[in-house]
Amino acid sequence: MGRSPCCDKNGVKKGPWTTEEDQKLIDYIRFHGPGNWRILPKNAGLQRCGKSCRLRWTNYLRPDIKRGRFSFEEEETIIQLHSVMGNKWSAIAGRLPGRTDNEIKNHWNTHIRKRLVRSGIDPVTHSPRLDLLDLSSLLGALFNQPNFSSVATHASSLLNPDVLRLASLLFPLQNPSQVYASNLDQNLQTPVTSVSSQPQAECTTSTNNETSSFEPMNARLDDVADVFLPPLSESFDLDSFMSTPKSSPQQNSLEAEANYSNYFDFGFPENLIFDDFMSI
């Protein structure tokens, strides 16, 4: 048995809504409530299918919808939630009062996703794109030096030691995103309002329906890193490196990116226009 169509195709208008149609829908819902979407257009005198009416109401006409540009805090929340939830736009929207799933989805695809790519972060896995930065080959060459210790000593005088340590954390991994994801995961048990340290067992991404475990790898990798490198300075943490900062509400996205761009303070070609690489 085939699916019954959501509406009769004949006589049903499609395309952009007119202000008159909007007003009819608003007036009807104000008086009767949404009720049954299938019969709503007929009762409201609209030549639309119920699905179209529902979408128009939930995504555009609802009085509690917040319109306008996304704030830095909202973008930060979206990025963090997406790293854990994947493309669960309705779930993400549930954490952003006044924003619809459609709006968030559009904003992700048109703004945030592109910015992450430009910043060298994979928007799907939220891992640093070391291939773009060519960090792995740089460090691979470094670590494979026969006289590695002397090279490392020399390098440490040139490079930010935090970067060296971070690199040692990331380099042995097949998938560095696990470190980042694990960290984020811990911070997002109760997003927006509070932070719990309880680790989450797994996270499902909607892109491939694979379920991957985020084991706490930091401790194990620290053992490796400690052999070669001095401890991280107290001001450094992977969260602030990988995610946008949490503590400065007035900060815009550009400034936020500049914050973690500081950690890549090594070896870029002189002709590289860093602003073009990192900015919106």
Compute the least distance from the CB of residue 279 to DNA, in Å. 13
Binding site for DNA (CB under 7 A): 1, 3-4, 6, 13-17, 35-39, 48, 50-52, 54-56, 58-60, 87-91, 101-103, 105-107, 109-111, 114, 206-207
**Nearest approach, Cβ of residue 60 and DNA (Å):** 5
C-beta closer to DNA: residue 111 or 246:
111
Pull the structure tokens for residue 63: 């009085």
Considering beta carbons, is residue 162 or 257 the nearer one to DNA?
A: 257
Shortest distance in whole angstroms from residue 178 CB to DNA = 22
CA distance 19 to 5: 27
At its nearest, how many Å lie between DNA and the CB of residue 22? Answer: 8
Shortest distance in whole angstroms from residue 14 CB to DNA: 4
